[in-house]
Amino acid sequence: MKKASVSVSAVIPASPKEIYSAWLSAKGHAAMTGGAAKATARVGCRFTAWDGYIEGKNLELVPPSLIIQAWRTSDFPADAPDSRLEIALAEAKGGTRITLKHTDIPAGQAKGYKQGWIDFYFKPMREYFAKK
């Protein structure tokens, strides 16, 4: 099965620690994205986001700079393996540069996920953290 990958980056007005903590907290993830989530900051633990549309498992956690997750949505073909999401957080002027490297995406879906990260993560995250 052919696979694709995307990489997107943005500066969010928050510290790496604030974003890291929110990403791995059910309450924080839901608050920063607007969709219900279940999450915990432990390797091996499963998570869901965006009202169950996204699910996966924490593979590696390096607070507060790196989160690596097995990741999939309900749009993945049933026989498709999980994709891999690497979330890198680095201090930057104006907050934190968040870089998402999303690999092993089922063929034909990468473009949609690239835009989805911008519309459904970066945009609401900027708004959420700007109000804090």
Is 90 exceeded by the pLDDT of residue 18?
Answer: yes
Say if pTM beats, i.e. exceeds, 0.85. yes
Residue 53 confidence (pLDDT)? 97
Instruction: Give the number of domains in the chain.
Output: 1
Is 90 exceeded by the pLDDT of residue 1?
Answer: no
Each residue's pLDDT tens digit, 76-125: 999 999 999 999 999 999 999 999 999 999 999 999 999 999 999 999 99
What range defines the domain where residue 101 resides? 3-131
Contact 3, 81 (CB under 8 A): no
Contact 117, 33 (CB under 8 A): no
Task: Give 52-76 as a DSSP string.
Answer: TTEEEEEEEEETTTEEEEEEEETTS
CATH number of the domain that residue 87 is part of:
3.30.530.20
The residues pairing with 86 across neighbouring beta strands, listed in sequence order, are 68, 101
Tokens at residue 53, please?
A: 């549309």
Task: For residues 37-41, give the mean pLDDT.
Answer: 97
Is 80 exceeded by the pLDDT of residue 2?
Answer: no
Average pLDDT over all residues of the chain: 97
